Amino acid sequence: MRVFIISLNQKVCDQFGLVFRDTTTLLNSINATRHQAQIFDAIYSKTFEGGLHPLVKKHLHPYFITQNIKDMGITTNLISGVSKFYYALKYHAKFMSLGELGCYASHYLLWQKCIELNEAICILEDDIVLKERFKESLEFCDKHINELGYIRLMHLEENVAKQKTPVKGVSQILNFKDGIGTQGYVLAPKAAQKLLKYSAKEWVMPIDCVMDRHYWHGVKNYVLEEFAIACDGMNSQNSNTEKQRPKKLPLSIRIGRFLHKSAVKILDKVFRYSPKN
């Protein structure tokens, strides 16, 4: 299976004061398993010319962006209170930062790559370490990915509701929290197509929040019961995906988010406690 490691290159990191991560050890460790590993140059939202990356510019919402993007001269859209309420109610609608938009764009391009290759691929971020059974786990995923479509190799947080699946060793995640990471997963073309279709519109939520909400795009959230990877503690502390949120949100957004969270909690309980086949 082809393995793509998303990582910002040295030149980009030096230019924008970001943390460069040496992926040599990770790359060699994967190649030692006989899987084909390669570095995928991560997208950063800023270009060397001072503008926005074309893919980011195409998909950002001109209202739900952080101040550092507005400072670049991006024209903001003064949408109505009704529109703010709609986005907050339906999507929760977070104000996206440069790093979060770049992260979304990187995964988006790899979903396109998955379809172009017409084969399942493994996507990893560069702040992870491999667990002992990574090779066997990837071979297991390769065997079942066409049936399942999408399999996480790990998730963040501990209190995540799951249920067993007919595939031994794989659970389905039922929790609807605000993102449990995109550190690593295996993806089939059919699932990539669904994610791309959903992501054709404006991006108003971080990538992990989007991928977790299968009721938006129809890609069920499966995970290995025995994780194949883990977060690298040192690298995770130095994240390039900065989060900047407005200190005070408009009332329409606050009400919409409250109702969104309430609906998510209800859905969580319905899925968690509904009879299992």
Burial 78-93 (b: 16+ CB within 10 A, else e): ebeeeebbebbbebbb
pLDDT of residue 257: 72
Per-residue pLDDT tens digits for 109-133 = 999 999 999 999 999 999 999 999 9
DSSP 145-170: HHHHSEEES--S-S---EEE-SSTTE
Tally of helices (H runs) and strands (E runs) in the chain: 12, 10
Contact 100, 43 (CB under 8 A): no
Across the chain, what does the average pLDDT equal? 86
Spatial contact of 23 and 5, defined as CB atoms under 8 Å apart: yes
User: Please, which residues bridge with residue 139 across strands?
Assistant: none
Q: What CATH class does 2-273 carry?
A: alpha beta
Q: Band the pLDDT of 277: cuts 50, 70, 90.
A: very low
In this prediction the pTM is: 0.86
Per-residue pLDDT tens digits for 174-222: 866 667 899 999 999 999 999 999 999 889 888 998 998 888 899 999 9
Torsion, Cα of 46, 188, 158, 127 (10° steps): -40
Instruction: Tell me which residue has tokens 């995640």.
Output: 173
